[in-house]
Amino acid sequence: MKHALAGRSDIPHSERSFPIFRMPIRDKQGKIIYWWFWDGQGLTYSTELMEQQETLPMREVMSSGHFLDQLLAHDE
């Protein structure tokens, strides 16, 4: 897959704070046993996901191909 720079843009000051990401930690059976929260500096965790945390973006690493698939699926 070929990559190219799409462009550059300034980020408004009101949007520059780093978001908090959530990441599920699962046991061997796949059940979520707790959640990690990452703020760009460090990690915290909780065994329960509170309602306001359900909208936090997921912290995940994916290939460029999978990322493109996710973008295209979102458009449909």
Q: CA Rg, the chain, in Å?
A: 16
CA quadruple 5, 7, 9, 11: dihedral sign: negative
Distance of CA 58 to the CA centre of its chain: 3
Backbone φ, ψ for residue 6 (5° rounding): -85, -25
Q: For 3-50, what is each residue's pLDDT tens digit?
A: 888 899 998 998 888 899 999 999 999 899 999 999 989 999 999 999
Q: Count up the domains in the chain and report the number.
A: 1
* 8 falls within a domain: no
Of 50, 55, 56, 57, the residue nearest 34 (C-alpha):
50
In a domain, 65, yes or no: yes
The model carries a pTM of 0.62
- pLDDT, one tens digit per residue, over 44-74 is 999 999 999 999 998 888 788 888 888 888 6
By residue range, what is the domain housing residue 59? 18-75
